[in-house]
Amino acid sequence: MEKMNLAFEKVKMLVGMEADDEPAAEEESSFAFMDDFNRNCTLSTKQRLYGFVICFVTGLSCTFLSILVFFNPIKFGITFTFGNLLSLGSTAFLIGPKRQVTMMLDPVRIYATAMYLASLIVALFCALYVHNKLLTLLAILLEFGALIWYSLSYIPFARSMVSKVMVACFDTEF
């Protein structure tokens, strides 16, 4: 039982559920809002897991249910993007919103984050304001590609491996 508790404590530390040391003064000024938010919204481990599961399952449901309205690209774009936002936000329950933002702005994945967030905005803009089906579908394809590239940024060496595989597959020299 003690080994199990020790393993659970290690998992909690890995996903950021333990209180970290006090942040540096420069970080404190840049993330003052997030620090206040983290202090005021303390959740137990069970509440964090419930929040994660509910938000993630709802996001996946929206994403998969968007296939039902595929032939109406405007509705498809809205439900697909909303599902992606919920799935992305679900991890904030596990690691906390401050750490989520910090990880997203990490130099390794800042460009992937920027492309993903920009594609979300473009998809919503095309669906809600432009009402052009072709542009909405193109924006959704861009969003899906950016989501894959953003997700690969969390796996060590995954992006370089995928890049090499794609170059090898589409290399036209014989």
Q: pLDDT for 98-123, tens place per residue? A: 888 999 999 989 999 999 999 999 98
Alpha helix segments (H runs only) across the chain: 2-14, 25-30, 32-40, 45-65, 73-95, 97-104, 110-125, 133-152, 158-170
| Residue 16 CA to its chain's centroid (Å) | 16
- pLDDT, one tens digit per residue, over 42-97 is 778 898 899 999 999 999 999 999 989 988 888 888 999 999 999 989 988 888 88
Confidence at residue 21, expressed as pLDDT on a 0 to 100 scale: 41
Using the structure block, give the residue that is written with the tokens 């597959």: 169
Whole-structure pTM value: 0.69
